[in-house]
Amino acid sequence: MTQHNKTLGEFIINKQAEFKYSSGELSRLINSIRLAGKIVNHEVNKAGLVDILGSAGAENIQGETQQKLDIYANEVFIKTLINREIVCGIASEEEDDFISIKGGNKKNDNKYVVLMDPLDGSSNIDVNVSVGTIFSIYRRVTPAGTPVTLEDFLQPGNQQVAAGYIVYGTSTMIVYSTGHGVNGFTLNPAIGTYYLSHPNMKFPEKGHIYSVNEGNYVHFPQGVKSYIKYCQTEEDDRPYTSRYIGSLVSDFHRNMIKGGIYIYPNTSKNPDGKLRLLYECNPMAFLAERAGGKASNGFKRILDIKPTELHQRVPFFCGNEEMVEKAEEFMAQAEN
Ligand code: AHG
Ligand code: MN
Ligand code: MN
Please identify every residue whose CB atom is under 5 Å from ligand 2, which is an ion. 117, 120
Task: For residue 264, report the distance from its CA to the centre of ligand 1, in Å.
Answer: 9
Q: What is the pLDDT of residue 330?
A: 98
Name the residue type at position 32.
S
Q: What is the pLDDT of residue 21?
A: 63
Q: How far is CA 313 from the centre of its chain?
A: 14
Task: For residue 325, report the distance from its CA to the centre of ligand 2, in Å.
Answer: 24
Largest CA distance in the chain: 64
- Cα atoms in the Cβ-side hemisphere of radius 13 Å centred on 291: 34
Per-residue pLDDT tens digits of the chain, which is 336 residues long: 444 579 998 888 888 777 666 568 888 999 999 999 999 999 888 776 655 555 566 666 777 665 688 999 999 999 999 988 789 999 999 999 999 998 666 666 789 999 999 999 988 988 889 999 999 999 999 998 899 999 999 999 999 999 999 999 999 999 999 998 999 999 999 999 999 999 999 999 999 999 999 999 999 999 999 999 999 999 999 999 999 999 999 999 999 999 999 999 999 989 999 999 999 999 999 999 999 999 999 999 999 999 999 999 999 999 999 999 999 999 999 987
For the chain, give every domain's residue range. Answer: 3-198, 209-335
d(CA 147, CA 284): 28
Kindly report the number of other CB atoms within 10 A of residue 306's CB atom.
9
Q: How far is CA 222 from the centre of its chain?
A: 27
Task: For residue 162, report the distance from its CA to the centre of ligand 1, in Å.
Answer: 23
d(CA 252, CA 295): 11
Residues with CB under 6 A from ligand 1: 93, 117, 120-122, 213, 246-248, 251, 274
Q: What is the pLDDT of residue 209?
A: 98
Task: For residue 319, report the distance from its CA to the centre of ligand 2, in Å.
Answer: 17
Do the beta carbons of residue 230 and residue 330 sit within 8 Å? Answer: yes
3-state secondary structure of 320: strand
3-state secondary structure of 169: coil
Q: What is the pLDDT of residue 62?
A: 72
d(CA 277, CA 280): 6
Q: Which of 227, 231, 251, 229 is nearest to 241 (CA)?
A: 231
Q: What is the pLDDT of residue 67?
A: 62
* Strand 87-92 with 99-100, pairing: antiparallel
Q: Which of 264, 268, 278, 284 is nearest to 308 (CA)?
A: 278
Q: Which of 298, 279, 281, 278 is nearest to 289 (CA)?
A: 281
Q: Which residue is closest in CA terms to ligand 1's atom 11?
A: 248
Do the beta carbons of residue 276 and residue 307 sit within 8 Å? Answer: no
Q: Which CATH number is 3-198 given? A: 3.30.540.10
Kindly report the number of other CB atoms within 10 A of residue 57's CB atom.
8
Q: What is the pLDDT of residue 1?
A: 42
241-299, pLDDT tens digit by residue?
A: 999 999 999 999 999 999 999 999 999 989 999 999 999 999 999 999 999 999 999 99
Q: Which of 83, 150, 160 is nearest to 311 (CA)?
A: 150
Q: Which residue is closest in CA terms to ligand 1's atom 3?
A: 120
Q: What is the pLDDT of residue 33?
A: 96
Atom of ligand 1 nearest to the CA of 123: 2
Spatial strand order in the sheet of 293-296: 241-242, 209-211, 260-264, 316-320, 293-296
Do the beta carbons of residue 148 and residue 89 sit within 8 Å? Answer: yes
d(CA 320, CA 293): 5
d(CA 233, CA 215): 19
Structure letter (DSSP) for residue 277? I
Q: What is the pLDDT of residue 234?
A: 98
Do the beta carbons of residue 167 and residue 253 sit within 8 Å? Answer: yes
Question: Options 3.30.830.10, 3.40.190.10, 3.40.50.720, 3.40.190.80; which CATH number does 209-335 get?
Answer: 3.40.190.80
* Cβ-proximal residues to 330 (8 Å cutoff; 6+ apart), any chain: 223, 224, 226, 227, 230
Ligand nearest to the CA of 215: 1
Task: For residue 246, report the distance from its CA to the centre of ligand 1, in Å.
Answer: 6
Q: What is the pLDDT of residue 320?
A: 98
d(CA 98, CA 151): 11
